[in-house]
Structure 1
């Protein structure tokens, strides 16, 4: 029984090493492009019907973020099974590991600022963008090379947005939407191009 457990552990270790050296093909351009549309739609709605408070503003964006995550996750699960076969579980686990810390950090920053220093809420859009960039940088080894353009975009935009919003009592929804929409569009184009190259090579 011990030999069987050791053999299974060795197989799992081999699968993890193979996954670490394999480009992740679970992200799809359709869901990524759709998230750009969700960001613009959310900003348009908040522009037409301005939120009464900063909390209302961020609740709207949290709902949008959850919807985006669900869209990406559904397409990711479907594509990973087709693209990676027996490595699908290991590849999904690796992808989640890359982005989960940034996601938790973003949620924690928003909760702490909202609870203890709501007058600093202007920091959140920029912080979220920086964290998305860091998540993409962390996933760099398993993403197409061009994805680093989107990572750099988010990283630079995050700090630029923080500088532009510094000390403002109101936050424009476009400060959240435009960087995100452009970043997701760039990422969708990179993934689409990489997918096309893969099919061309078959």
Structure 2
């Protein structure tokens, strides 16, 4: 029984090593581009219906949290389908690796929002910029398993985050556009990078 357990553990370790050295093709440009539409729609709805977001920070934040969850669900559904198609028996290991790379940044964003809301609500104006910086760190963490040029998307989010922080520091106000515009551009850029890196091969299939 111990030999069987050891053999299974060795197989899992080998699969993990193979997955670590394989380019991940689970992210689909269509789903990522669609998340740009979610960001734009959220920004437009909040601009039209949310009068002075700074007076309703929870509504503002929950709106973007809902947009993030919807976007994550869209990416997840396509990621699972594509991984099964492109990575076959390695699909689970590849998906686990992709989630593991981005999860720390995502969790940091959730915990940071909860902490500011609970202990420093006057600093909530910083969240849009901080979230964009955290997304950039998640993208950079994923570079080793994605097309190398995806670092451009990480650089965009990094620079955009600091610009948003600089602009918001003048008024300490929340704005749907300081969330929407960077994410629309960033997601479209990411989708384009992934498409041109693997889109033609996918289309042939």
TM-score by length of 2: 0.94
Q: In structure 1, the residue corresponding to 2:25 is in which secondary structure?
A: coil
Whether the 8 Å contact between 1:122 and 1:165 is mirrored in structure 2 is yes
Q: Which has the higher helix share?
A: 2
**1:30–1:199 distance in 2 versus 1, CA, 3 Å:** closer
Equivalent residue number for residue 135 of structure 1 = 138
Kindly state the Cα deviation for residue 198 of structure 1 after the two structures are TM-superposed.
Answer: 3.6
Q: For 2:5 and 2:110, locate their aligned partners in 1 and report how far apart those are by CA, in whole Å.
A: 38
Equivalent residue number for residue 173 of structure 2 = 170
Equivalent residue number for residue 105 of structure 1 = 108
Whether the 8 Å contact between 1:120 and 1:167 is mirrored in structure 2 is no
Equivalent residue number for residue 46 of structure 2 = 46
1:87 aligns with one of 86, 90, 110? 90
Equivalent residue number for residue 148 of structure 1 = 151
TM-score by length of 1: 0.96
Q: For 2:97 and 2:39, locate their aligned partners in 1 and report how far apart those are by CA, in whole Å.
A: 26
C-alpha offsets along residues 93-117 of structure 1, whole Å, 9 cap, x if unaligned? Answer: 0001011111110001101111111
**1:197–1:21 distance in 2 versus 1, CA, 3 Å:** farther
Mapping 1:1-202, distance limit 5 Å: 1-50=1-50, 51=53, 52-166=55-169, 168-198=171-201
Query: Can you give the 5+ residue segments of structure 1 that lack an aligned partner in the other structure?
Result: none
Whether the 8 Å contact between 1:40 and 1:177 is mirrored in structure 2 is yes
Query: Can you give the 5+ residue segments of structure 2 that lack an aligned partner in the other structure?
Result: none
Aligned residues: 202
